[in-house]
């Protein structure tokens, strides 16, 4: 797999549903120019671990906004599946959920399980100039830490060297 961190993030354009499930929109990497973007992929709607991650990110949305970051969730389900899930189980969230129904974005970001046609749990932090700063990818059964994602975002924003377990307010190296 080709390294993505430290390079320009792969461009994307996808259909999405708004977090309240009311409208369909298009999202692209260009929409997030001059902002930080936390983009996370999950395998499928109507599953068990995925709603815990999506709702946890939504609960912390204001903390991400305070840092100048937007959030975008992505899976290979259709926008209609996303909409049905929001209205019949997941509930409203504070950010769009995009449809990578062609699996092309998952493939570009190196997280597609081709034999299953679904993405791994991949999370990417993209800086305001479109540089991919952070990537964490793991198997399907374990959710990610929203608090760790926020900590890493804050660390990148310092522009300095941040040692292990660095926390906001601590000195950089």
Q: Which among 38, 50, 98, 123 is annotated as catalytic? A: 50
Q: Is residue 6, in this structure, part of any structural domain at all?
A: no
- Crossing angle between the packed helical segments 146-158 and 50-59, to the nearest 10 degrees: 50
| CA distance readout (Å), 95 to 2, 5, 8, 85 | 29, 24, 23, 14
Q: Which of 1, 121, 156 is nearest to 50 (CA)?
A: 121
- State the pLDDT at residue 59: 96
State the Cα–Cα distance between residues 18 and 157, nearest whole angstrom. Answer: 27
- State the pLDDT at residue 1: 63
Q: Is residue 170, in this structure, part of any structural domain at all?
A: no
Percent helix, strand, coil in the chain, to 5, is: 30, 25, 45
Expressed as residue numbers, the domain containing 79 is 13-158
Q: Is residue 165, in this structure, part of any structural domain at all?
A: no
Structural domains in the chain (count): 1
Q: Is residue 8, in this structure, part of any structural domain at all?
A: no
51 neighbors 13 (Cβ within 8 angstroms): no
Q: What is the pLDDT of residues 114-172, one digit of tens each?
A: 999 999 999 999 999 999 999 999 888 888 899 999 999 998 998 877 778 878 888 77
Q: Is residue 1, in this structure, part of any structural domain at all?
A: no
Q: Is residue 169, in this structure, part of any structural domain at all?
A: no
Catalytic residue check, 50: yes
Q: Is residue 130, in this structure, part of any structural domain at all?
A: yes
Q: Is residue 91, in this structure, part of any structural domain at all?
A: yes
| CATH classification of the domain holding 149 | 3.40.30.10
């Amino acid at each position: 797999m080709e390294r993505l961190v430290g390079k320009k993030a792969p461009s994307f354009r996808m259909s999405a549903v708004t977090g309240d499930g009311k409208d369909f929109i298009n999202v692209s990497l260009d929409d997030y120019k001059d902002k930080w973007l936390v983009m996370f992929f999950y395998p499928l709607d109507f599953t068990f671990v995925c709603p815990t991650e999506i709702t946890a990110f939504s609960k912390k949305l204001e903390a991400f906004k305070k840092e100048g970051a937007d959030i975008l969730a992505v899976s290979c389900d259709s926008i209609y599946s996303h909409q049905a899930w929001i209205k019949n189980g997941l509930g409203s969230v504070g950010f769009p959920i995009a449809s990578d129904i062609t699996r092309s974005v998952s493939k570009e970001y190196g997280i597609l399980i081709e034999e299953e046609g679904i993405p791994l749990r991949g999370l990417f932090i993209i800086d305001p100039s479109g540089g991919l700063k952070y990537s964490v990818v793991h198997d399907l059964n374990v959710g990610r830490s929203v608090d760790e994602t926020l900590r890493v975002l804050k660390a990148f924003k310092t522009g300095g060297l941040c040692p292990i377990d660095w926390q906001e307010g601590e000195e950089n190296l």
